[in-house]
Amino acid sequence: MKQIISQSPEQTQEAARRLGLYIRKQHLSCAIALTGNLGCGKTCFVQGLARGLDVGDGYYITSPTFTIMNEYPAGNMRLCHLDLYRLSDPDELDYIGIEDQMGQDSVTVVEWPDLLIETGFEFDLHIHFEFDADFNRKITFSPSGQAGINLLSNLSL
């Protein structure tokens, strides 16, 4: 487990950019779960991650709260950004074809991942966001499985 304190959106994006850069250089397909309250920096983190993955500046990274999923070309990979906040039943995941979007040559990032976790899906990395007493963002990175352990142990945050 690693933890950082971010005092600004720029610091949050920079940590995420470094993660994305490492994933891109290693050409890793991975799944990342983002948890935390509304407004705590999850989408801001994905914006930085996208830049590290080489998603072009012409793409504005927003939370797919209403579309459920946004997909972006990321160099020779793709970034799939999901927000499951509006879903209430794991069966709804079948209707959006979530499994078709995940896999080889993709980085899948899921905000509000609880429904997906209920189905037994395993993420490589869990990232939790919360505010500290000074309203800085405390970001905790926890690996899951060997791929997540390898990723986190080689990442300089």
Predicted local confidence at residue 101, as pLDDT: 67
Q: Which of 98, 69, 61 is nearest to 85 (CA)?
A: 69
Class for the domain spanning 2-153: alpha beta
Segment 77-134, tens digit of pLDDT: 999 999 998 888 877 777 776 666 666 789 999 999 998 898 888 899 999 999 999 9
Each domain of the chain, given as residue ranges in start order, spans 2-153
Find the radius of gyration of the CA atoms of the chain.
Answer: 14
- Which has the higher per-residue pLDDT, 45 or 86? 45
State pTM to two decimals.
0.93
Residue 151 and residue 32 in contact, taking contact as beta carbons nearer than 8 Å: no
Q: Is the confidence at residue 56, as pLDDT, over 80? A: yes
Predicted local confidence at residue 86, as pLDDT: 86
Q: In what order do the strands lie in the sheet containing 106-111?
A: 2-6, 137-143, 125-131, 30-35, 106-111, 77-83, 69-74
